[in-house]
Copies of this chain bind each other. A is one copy, B any other.
Amino acid sequence: MIVGGVAGGATCAARIRRLDEDAEILVLDKGPYVSFANCGLPYYVGDVIRDESNLLLASPDLFRKRFNIEVRTRHEVVAIHRTQRTVTVRDLETGRECEEPYDALVLSPGAAPIRPPLRGIDLPGIFTLRTVPDAREIRNWIDTRRAQKAVIVGGGFIGLEMAENLVHRGMAVTVIEMAAQVMPPLDPEIAEYARQRLESHGVNLVLANRVVAFGQGGDGTLSVCAQDGAEFEADLVVLSIGVRPESQLARNAGIAVGERGGIRVDEQMRTCDPHVWAVGDAVEVKNWVTGKWELMPLAGPANRQGRVAADAICGRETRFRGVQGTAVCGFFGMTVALTGATEKALSSAGMKDFETIYLHPNHHVGYYPGAQAIHLKLIFRKSDGLVLGAQAAGEQGVARRIDVIAQAIQMKATVFDLEEAELCYAPQYGGAKDPVNFAGMIASNVMRGDMELAPWEDLATTSALLLDVRERHEFRAGSIEGAVNIPLGELRERLHELPRSREIWVNCVVGQRAYYAARILAQHGFRVRNLSGGFKTYSAFHPEGVRQPAVV
């Protein structure tokens, strides 16, 4: 018996059938659909996906015919009786309840959008987006009210996808995010690229602020009140603050949940009750890079979990290896993606044995028309070079590089392996040195001691000499505050101008010339460090604007 369809539950049901032609399989879902494309909902609101039927992936009829699986939609499981191995099922159409027995129970109830108990939260026009009916209601609201102004509460992945889609519908969009950055899972200097892109497409971003109440004027217009006193008018409000695992049914039955509120399972997706499994957004998963339990409401892991639970139920050896946190989000032509651990996650897990590098390579060779920069941050273990995580933002080729690094992380690759990676190259596809190779080479330089990194966070307080080795005209157009300029081509002749008593931190645009300069200086006995990723990284850390140098 499977409670909840969609990704994890439906996958589990179909897999059980493939393994056991004789099993009786019953899927219960309280919603109207057993399997729908929830990741597509923002795009249905945005009219990129035009036909609602495209979102419905498999009907109960298909389950019956193809898999000999019985599906009952609009049926809610309201209680689990573990001793008797039965559940109480309520038919939501008739209200009637009955008992159904199980041998193996799989909980796949998903997660519910968070709807904080703020004043005015139940006013008409304030929506969450989790189901096909939710999306339909938002579409209808926009169409019938001719909604012009939207406020999105929450600047995470779904919030930003919604922002793009509502702009696509012609609306003026404000996003209010509690954190000082959009996309809170990312490190802030990478999220900065997303901020710039959103603002350049007219999205009004309100960061480090939170919504405290909603009101409504006489004409029906909503007002969204922020903590700092600001008010925002809206014809439509979408709450995308996150989701909460639907673990109440399990809790009520005495099934253990973890600290994050998700159902706790073992590597076979089994709960504390050996006859009850759980999969999908309702469970906590072990992030095997950081070793921490997390909520990771993503479709990929949910699918894998469904397969693992099915295998376990059918008596197969199996194991869910945990998650590594690969995710991607796109809006306004930009792709932002990550895999493995962020610096944030490592720091909050108390880990210190890591280094981070930045680079900004073109997605393909510069001499072929249309090259676009990929802003890439790679994190690796200092002691042995193990790749721990990567984040990237750019227009082209971002998911490709993050996927390669995701596969590398899965296989416990080191930065030396990335250096040697043999990837697709033709002028329109990459470079003889792919961005992944560059990341590996730079990190390997650090590992081998050929390049020492200057910590970006100490830039404001360092007593080091800041040396910019770009050409004069580049330096003049904007530079790191306090830096002096000696173009790389003049460096060897001007070594006498540099101090031997003081550390030198070198930068250029992206880090390549600075690396060359650092090698020259190190071999001439200077103490030198590299500001990884150069002026482009500086700009990401200092979005407020870059000072013009007073003296050149």
User: Which A residues are closer than 8 A to B by beta carbons?
Assistant: 7, 17-22, 37, 39-40, 43, 48-49, 54-55, 57, 65-68, 157, 161, 298-304, 321, 323-330, 335, 337, 339, 365, 367-369, 399-400, 402-404, 406-408, 410-413, 417, 420-430, 432-434, 436-437, 450, 488-489, 492, 513, 515-516, 519-520, 523-524
Contacts and interface: CB of A to CB of B under 8 A. Distances in A.
Contacts of A49: 367-369
Given A49-B367, A300-B422, A300-B432, A516 B407 contact: no
Contact of A427 (B39, B323, B368, B450): B39
Contacts of A426: 39, 157, 161, 327-330
Given A22-B523, A325-B422, A411-B413, 4 more contacts: A299-B432, A407-B408, A407-B421, A407-B436
Contacts of A67: 516
Nearest to A364: B399
A488 B422 contact: no
A417 B411 contact: yes
Copies of this chain held together in the complex: 2
A55 B450 CA distance: 30
B337 A516 contact: no
A417 B422 contact: no
Contacts of A300: 422-423, 425, 432-434, 437
Contact of A523 (B21, B339, B403, B421): B21
26 contacts: A18-B519, A21-B519, A22-B523, A40-B368, A40-B427, A43-B427, A48-B368, A54-B367, A66-B488, A300-B434, A303-B432, A323-B422, A325-B422, A327-B425, A330-B428, A335-B429, A399-B400, A404-B407, A406-B421, A406-B422, A406-B424, A407-B407, A407-B421, A408-B411, A410-B413, A410-B417
Given A337-B424, A421-B406, A489 B432 contact: no
B66 A516 contact: yes
Contacts of A367: 37, 40, 49, 54-55, 57
Contacts of A68: 492
Contacts of A325: 422
A74 to B, nearest CB: 23
Contact of A424 (B17, B57, B327, B513): B327
Q: Which of A20, A407, A408 has the most CB of B within 10 A?
A: A407
Given A39-B427, A369-B48, A18 B402 contact: no
A18 B523 CA distance: 9
A364 B324 CA distance: 21
A323 B422 CA distance: 7
B66 A489 contact: yes
Contacts of A301: 422
Given A367-B57, A369-B49, A488-B66, A423 B406 contact: yes
A151 to B, nearest CB: 23
Nearest to A430: B399
Contact of A37 (B21, B330, B365, B410): B365
Contacts of A369: 48-49
Nearest to A327: B424
A58 to B, nearest CB: 12
Contacts of A22: 523
A365 B40 contact: yes
B524 A420 contact: no
A532 B406 CA distance: 28
A161 B368 CA distance: 14
Contacts of A39: 365, 425-427, 432
Contacts of A430: 328, 399
A410 B418 CA distance: 10
A422 B339 contact: yes
A516 B304 contact: no
A272 to B, nearest CB: 25
Q: Which of A325, A339, A410, A450 has the most CB of B within 10 A?
A: A410
Q: Which of A20, A161, A326 has the most CB of B within 10 A?
A: A326
Contact of A400 (B303, B403, B489): B403
Contacts of A19: 450, 519
A-B pairs, top 9 by smallest CB distance, nearest first, are A411-B411, A299-B432, A328-B424, A65-B489, A21-B523, A400-B400, A399-B424, A54-B367, A18-B519
Contact of A429 (B298, B328, B422): B328
B524 A21 contact: yes
A429 B330 contact: yes
Given A68-B492, A368-B49, A404-B403, A299 B18 contact: no
B423 A326 contact: yes
Contacts of A337: 424
A493 B363 CA distance: 54
Nearest to A519: B18
A407 B412 CA distance: 11
A221 to B, nearest CB: 32
A10 to B, nearest CB: 11
A362 B54 CA distance: 15
A337 B65 CA distance: 38
Contacts of A421: 406-407, 410
